Structure 1
Amino acid sequence: MSHKTLLRTGPLLQGGVSPYGPLRLPGEHGLALPSGFHGREVARSGRKVAGLTWHAAPDGGACFPDGGGWIYVSNSELPLLGGASALRFRSDGSVADAYRILSGTDLNCAGGATPWHTWLSCELGHRGRVFECDPYGSRAARPRLAMGRFKHEAAACDPERRVVYMTEDEPDGCFYRFIPGDWGDLTEGTLEVLCASGHWRVVPSPAALFQEARHQVEDARHFDGGDGCHYAGGVCYFTTKGDSGLWAYDAQTSTLDRLCSGVRAITAAPSGDLYVARETTQIDVIAPDREVTPFLRLEGHDGAELTGLAFSPDGERLYFSARRGRTEGHTFEVTGRFRT
């Protein structure tokens, strides 16, 4: 999926006219959407979907092509029982199958998809690991320990520079990149951290047995709780939950820009539009001209966090979850004429 590049300079413009028009009154499941868009619940924590009991605490997610259909994977941010599950959709949008792709891991929060169609599921616990999972359910998940042991939050692959960016959920967390020895194989490689100077420096001991990774490089730049992460059009966007910031790391110029506040999760559409989940139960669109407008509001889920934003491979469906605590979770699909 190719993306147009979001403009990198200038402030975001709030309160413009949405490219999709105003939101209608909430419909089924409390979804308020623009005219021409429809939503449905595809899974709910504790309930069966295609024979699988859908996990609690749904968090990061991504979509993968599957012949004429597609697959949506979702992490579970449960302690010790976390892991990840997958929903397989037929070409008509009906659910064909549901299954686990990772089990017995700890606090699987966010993650990221790779260009070779695997899912990187990140553990949020102390000395957390990154697991590379097969969304098709054919191969067992494998830990990628060279990517470091820390409170992993999210990952985003940059196929142009052949690196994987990663965020860290600590009050003084860092922004990392992993350079595999062989692109497409994450078994071995070099872990680097972004420094205040704007340069990247090698983390001496990614295993962090005696000193935490974020404290190993003296001038490492620190962020208040690294959260979501997404790469598109030469830019790695990431969020920080401590100050609810949205950041843009321009990989072409090695510059970092703080775009706005009030954002928790993020993804991008083929049009180049960014879709961002706010601290409230709302999803906004940030267009390539940097105008910010509402796209979706979820009512009746007060206190919920919107997670796992991801577009289907054809860009015609948007998936996300609304989770409240570590028990309640609803996974939704929105269809309509998204811009291309």
Structure 2
Amino acid sequence: MSHPFFPQGNRWKRRDVLRTLFFTAGAVGSASWLSGCGGSEGGGESLPAVGGGADVTPSPDDVEKLVGRFQDIGPLRDADIHGVRTPEGFATRVVAINSELPQPDGMAVSGPQTGGIGNRPWHIFPDGAGVVPRDNGGWIYISNSEVPGAGSIGFTFPQLSGLTNVIEEFTPGLAQVGTLVFDPDGTIVDSYTILSGTTFNCAGCVTPWKTWLSCEEFPNGQVWECDPYQAGDGVPRPTLGFFSHEAIAIDPGERLLYLTEDMPDGRFYRWVPDPADWPEGSDRAALQAGRLQVLCVGGEGVDAALDAPQPIEWMDALNPHEPQDQNRLQQSTAFDGGEGVWFFKGIVYFATKGDNRIWAVDTAAQTIEVVYDLATAEAPNDILSGVDNLFVTDQGDILVAEDGGDMQVVVILPDGTLKPLLQIEGQDASEVAGIAFSPDGQRMYFTSDRGGRNGFGGFTNGLGMVYELILPDDL
């Protein structure tokens, strides 16, 4: 196939450096280190809430009609008081900062406020995120906390994963998943934890049945299913495999899950439910029984996907209830650092950070191709590096958050051109993540995983914060 939305045609990032520093500083599993640093995805645009979106493959005529929502945004202006550059007509506010209680109207610029919402200070290292709607017209923002643990040593040093997986079994995880509860006018009214005791929770997805799947990113990591509407601890879903889970996308029409693995020799997976686990016509999957499968690229091989789509096939994973980095299927294809993944109109997009590429799997044709490659991109389309989290709008815009790079969210438009949507300044040791939209599509959330207050009324590198991008009414 020729990819419907595009014409043909830095290795490990700051986050990995921080992980290495964390462990080589002798802070493995150290709760004191954490406390010493402050503790602890409706409306008119019909943006998809699932880790994917519509489940109907578009006709060529439909594809030609796709005009990106952000097609006509202008250049980025100077940074605002929150340190964020946006196009004309956009505005930002800060809605959560690590170790501070959320405030009804967001965070004061000058410093922490007294009082606050809920009984949990906002977690450190906020990463992947999603939004679910509330019955009253409000919404809930769900946020992972990417706190390392003993098992994360096996992520940074894969040769040690066998040992660190064992240590992880006896070491309580320090990560969690938190929420911000919004009323229809954007006021924050509550905040609570829906998962705790896990390790290195990176991304995930909102399911069609409105739960949250949170991914542990270490070699023996699992996926946890959480109820975002009430406080709780989540439920592990071992059928989804044991590996350095990064993100998940769901094709609800075909009842398939797609999963990325963030390792230098990571694989791309799909999960096929047993017929009784997700029966046709059922509202949801039980996520208790299914087959974990690994992608194998045929044809001229994975490198040839730069020039033309290559055929793929799926093979059952070896020993799916054991760590996959120790059970590689020889025929499977390695991808260098799998990151965000999204299902949209029969295409599964995913990012790989090691080679700065965005891939597209055509689920009908069963082919794969590269739709963005930094090494071969030509100006003005060479502005995207450090590819990480993904979000695809119903208009076909692919929003890519940068881990490092220029700390931007970059839009890949349906015609293949790139435009910056925003840029965070003064936080070069951080990364952008957590993209999710309010149900009406007018507010976009994103995180600076390692952002925080600078003590002088502004923001700099820190332990994490969450921004809200307010879109113009006519967009």
Could you tell me the TM-score, scaled by structure 1's length? 0.91
The 3 A distance-change label for structure 1 pair 327 and 300 is closer
* In structure 2, C-alpha distance between the alignment counterparts of 1:213 and 1:201, rounded to whole Å: 16
Q: Which has the higher strand share?
A: 1
Matched, 1:24 2:138: no
Determine the structure 2 residue equivalent to 1:251. Answer: 363
Determine the structure 2 residue equivalent to 1:205. Answer: 319
Determine the structure 2 residue equivalent to 1:284. Answer: 410
Q: Give yes or no for contact 1:315–1:338 (8 Å, CA) kept in 2.
A: no
* In structure 2, C-alpha distance between the alignment counterparts of 1:292 and 1:327, rounded to whole Å: 29
Determine the structure 2 residue equivalent to 1:36. Answer: 89
User: In the alignment, residue 446 of structure 2 is paired with which amino acid?
Assistant: F
For residues 107-157 of structure 1, what are the alpha-carbon distances to aligned partners after superposition, in whole Å with 9 as ceiling and x for unaligned? 111111111111110001221000011111266511000111111111111
Shift of 1:269: 1.9
For residues 258-312 of structure 1, what are the alpha-carbon distances to aligned partners after superposition, in whole Å with 9 as ceiling and x for unaligned? 2223222211223221111133211111111111111111112122100111122
Determine the structure 2 residue equivalent to 1:240. Answer: 352
Determine the structure 2 residue equivalent to 1:53. Answer: 121
**Secondary structure of the residue that 2:88 maps to in structure 1?**
coil
Determine the structure 2 residue equivalent to 1:228. Answer: 340
Q: Give yes or no for contact 1:6–1:287 (8 Å, CA) kept in 2.
A: no
Bigger shift: residues 275-284 or 118-127: 275-284
User: In the alignment, residue 175 of structure 1 is paired with which amino acid?
Assistant: F
Shift of 1:8: 5.0
Shift of 1:45: 0.9
Determine the structure 1 residue equivalent to 2:143. Answer: 74
Determine the structure 2 residue equivalent to 1:98. Answer: 191
Q: Give yes or no for contact 2:407–2:424 (8 Å, CA) kept in 1.
A: yes
Determine the structure 1 residue equivalent to 2:464. Answer: 329
Could you tell me the TM-score, scaled by structure 2's length? 0.66
Q: Give yes or no for contact 2:213–2:223 (8 Å, CA) kept in 1.
A: yes
Q: Which has the higher helix share?
A: 2
Bigger shift: residues 132-141 or 56-65: 132-141
* In structure 1, C-alpha distance between the alignment counterparts of 2:197 and 2:350, rounded to whole Å: 27
Q: Across the two proteins, how many residue pairs are aligned to each other?
A: 329
For residues 156-197 of structure 1, what are the alpha-carbon distances to aligned partners after superposition, in whole Å with 9 as ceiling and x for unaligned? 111122111001111110000011223322111111000122
Matched, 1:7 2:5: yes
Q: Give yes or no for contact 2:350–2:359 (8 Å, CA) kept in 1.
A: yes
Q: Give yes or no for contact 1:174–1:214 (8 Å, CA) kept in 2.
A: no
Identity among equivalent pairs (%): 42
User: In the alignment, residue 132 of structure 2 is paired with which amino acid?
Assistant: F
Determine the structure 2 residue equivalent to 1:296. Answer: 422
Bigger shift: residues 111-120 or 260-269: 260-269
Matched, 1:271 2:269: no
**Secondary structure of the residue that 2:239 maps to in structure 1?**
helix
Bigger shift: residues 316-325 or 26-35: 316-325
User: In the alignment, residue 48 of structure 1 is paired with which amino acid?
Assistant: L
Unaligned runs of 5+ in 2: 10-69, 103-116, 150-172, 279-284, 299-311, 375-384, 452-460
Mapping of residues 35-184 of structure 1, within 5 Å: 35-49=88-102, 50-51=117-118, 52-67=120-135, 68-78=137-147, 79=149, 80-137=173-230, 140-181=233-274, 182-183=277-278, 184=285
* In structure 2, C-alpha distance between the alignment counterparts of 1:214 and 1:290, rounded to whole Å: 38
Unaligned runs of 5+ in 1: 12-16
* In structure 1, C-alpha distance between the alignment counterparts of 2:175 and 2:473, rounded to whole Å: 32
**Secondary structure of the residue that 2:175 maps to in structure 1?**
coil
